[in-house]
Structure 1
Amino acid sequence: MKIDIKEMDEYLVKLLRTVGDNLVVDSAKDKSVDTKSSRIDLVTNFDKSTEKWLVGEIKKKYPDSTIVSEEGYGDVVNDMSGLVFFVDPIDGTMNFVKRRDDFASMIGVYLDGKPFLGAIIDVVKSEIYHGGPDYGIFRNEEEVTSPKNQSLPEGLVDISWPMVMADKFNSQAVVKKSSGLRIYGSAGIIFEHLIFGREVLYMSYLAPWDLAAGRVLCESLGLEVATIDDSPVNMLKSQVVIVGTKKVISEVLRTVKK
């Protein structure tokens, strides 16, 4: 399948620019808020309406694609053949509801199972991080260079708070070896920090739509994405994922296996 990368990248940026403009306004409105798996797993009417719009627009532009999406407006996808989009309408819904800050919207694109393009908008900052391995990575129009390959003691880490509280996978030992712990509550915001070297590690249980766009951006810039047991990443299931510099991934995998 031959795809015009530049055209698709520009299209993703256009979609997320519209989403970002709308969500800034929506964040100040009254919201219909429900819980999903637990009281800290929220969904709003704006998650649903945003996803429904994105899925509809993508289907109009790329009718032969399949779409994996958080709120159920996409397809049932059983394999990664062809063109597959991953849509996360509001990443960091708790932040969207409680703080009106530090939330994102994300679209990841995979072609025959391989990372192709990714786009993340930091809604409040109105910055879009986008691109892919064969195109380059950009913040709005400015090309992004690869972050320094720092070691664990040199950098800050972001690990999901339930994982740290329960000390799953020796996560507290990982924190103690680092320069400190930061928790933001949005994978999209953390991926932004990783590609600029503000943090050197992200470890969390991620659904496919949480990971897809960030994986494209991070791997394109020389960062690594690994599972907790170092098995191949499966983009069609939720899993514990480690994202970071090459030095950090090696250090953390040794630590979590102890």
Structure 2
Amino acid sequence: MVVTDWQKINASVQAWFKEVRCQLLAGCEAKLQVAKKSGRTDLVTNIDKQVEKYLVTQIKQTFPGSRVLGEEGDRDQDLATYQGLVWIIDPLDGTLNFVKQKDHFASMLAVYENGHEKLGYILDVINDKLYWGGPESGVFCNTARLPKVPDLFLDQGLLDVSGRMLIRNYRNVAQVAEKSMGIRVYGSAGIGFIHVLTGKTVGYCSHLHPWDHAAGKILAKAHGLSVKSIDDNELDVLSSNDVLVATKNAKNDIIKLMRKR
């Protein structure tokens, strides 16, 4: 039986993210090649692709036999079995923010083994803060363990929600917003997860793809937060869904209001 060297994995990923941050900061100053994916606000740049290629190369060279699911097209075909090491990559989360603001964007990576959640990483690029950890290690920001957040109710805190959901009042989101102390729309799943992890918001809700929620799910669950679909179902890490990460009390409040639609 081969025993996975998790210390080596963690040290490797943290070193890779130092280089990823350098590449993304350099991209902020460079002339970007920008293309549209599903629509005019769904963008991809040459930097997204460059960072994903870098991470995939490092993973495959350092941990042979790994399988990868990347947002920008790097993916192995037999991921459904969950066997072995599976890495899920979002090289640049919040690409529209990256292009228009040079702020409020992240890079994310999740590591699963035989279907089990192991390690998640979210890099807040501009603030140089790497949030990382898992069920066995706890959750850290750089080298400091992240303190637990109070289990606040919806009306005790701010809520981060998808702008598209709010505009369309999807699943009664407008009433959820009114019940909270205020709404914030950051446009980045990584930043959204970080704000719940650090207690800046009591919840974050958006339609997310696997690369958007895989790392955050690992971190939030390890930190004692709720991470489910807005129907209060468990998330399949390889599926897209309407995702809610929140304190447990806020989650209950939000789901009750969404069921009133």
Partner of 1:140: 142
* Matched residue, 1:65: 66
Give the structure 2 partner of residue 50 of structure 1: 51
How far residue 249 of structure 1 moved from its aligned partner, in angstroms, is 1.1
1:173 aligns with 2:178: no
Alignment partner of 2:21: what SS?
A: helix
79-88 vs 103-112, which deviates more? 79-88
Matched with 1:252 is 254
How many residues in Structure 1 have an aligned counterpart in Structure 2?
258
Deviations 1:107-133 (A, max 9, x none): 011122221101111111111111111
Out of 204, 207, 222, the position equivalent to 2:206 is: 204
Aligned pair 1:19/2:20, yes or no?
yes
> Structure 1 regions of 5+ residues with no counterpart?
none
User: 2:161 pairs with 159, 175, 184, which one?
Assistant: 159
Match of 2:244 among 210, 233, 242: 242
Note the residue ranges of structure 2 that are not aligned, 5 or more in a row: none
Aligned ranges for residues 67-216 of structure 1 at < 5 Å? 67-76=68-77, 77-216=79-218
1:157–1:200 CA contact under 8 A, matched in 2: yes
Give the counterpart letter for 1:91 in structure 2: D
Higher mean displacement: 34-43 or 109-118: 109-118
1:236, distance to aligned residue in structure 2 (A): 1.0
CA distance in 1, matches of 2:112, 2:252: 26
1:219 shift after superposition? 0.7
Q: For the residues of structure 2 that align with 1:31 and 1:255, how far apart are their CA atoms?
A: 42
Instruction: Using the TM superposition, give the Cα deviation of residue 82 of structure 1 relative to its aligned residue in structure 2, in angstroms.
Output: 2.2
Report the residue type matching 1:214 in the other structure. G
- Distance in 2 between the 1:232 and 1:127 partners? 29
Of 212-221 and 3-12, more deviation after overlay is shown by 3-12
CA distance in 2, matches of 1:114, 1:66: 14
Residue 27 of structure 1, CA deviation: 1.0
1:219-230 correspondence to structure 2 within 5 Å: 219-230=221-232
Paired amino acid for 2:211: W
Give per-residue Cα distances to partners, 1:171-199, cap 9 Å, x unaligned.
11111110100011111111111111000
CA root-mean-square deviation: 1.1
2:139 match: secondary structure? strand
- State the distance in 2 between where 1:2 and 1:176 align: 50
User: Which stretches of structure 1, 4 residues or more, deviate above 4 A after TM superposition?
Assistant: none
Q: What is the one-letter code of the residue matched to 1:64?
A: G
After superposition, the C-alpha distances for 1:93-114 in whole angstroms (9 at most, x for unaligned) are: 0011001111110101112222
Tell me if structure 2 keeps the 8 A contact 1:5–1:135.
Answer: no
Q: TM-score, normalised by structure 1?
A: 0.97
Equivalent residue letter for 2:76:
D
Q: Give the residue type in structure 1 aligned to 2:191.
A: I
Q: Shift of residue 10 of structure 1?
A: 1.7
Per-residue deviation, residues 153-212 of structure 1 (Å, max 9, x unmatched): 001001100000000011111111101000111111111111110001111000000001
Distance (whole Å) between structure 2 residues aligned to residue 148 and residue 12 of structure 1: 30
CA distance, structure 1, for counterparts of residue 84 and residue 175 of structure 2 = 41
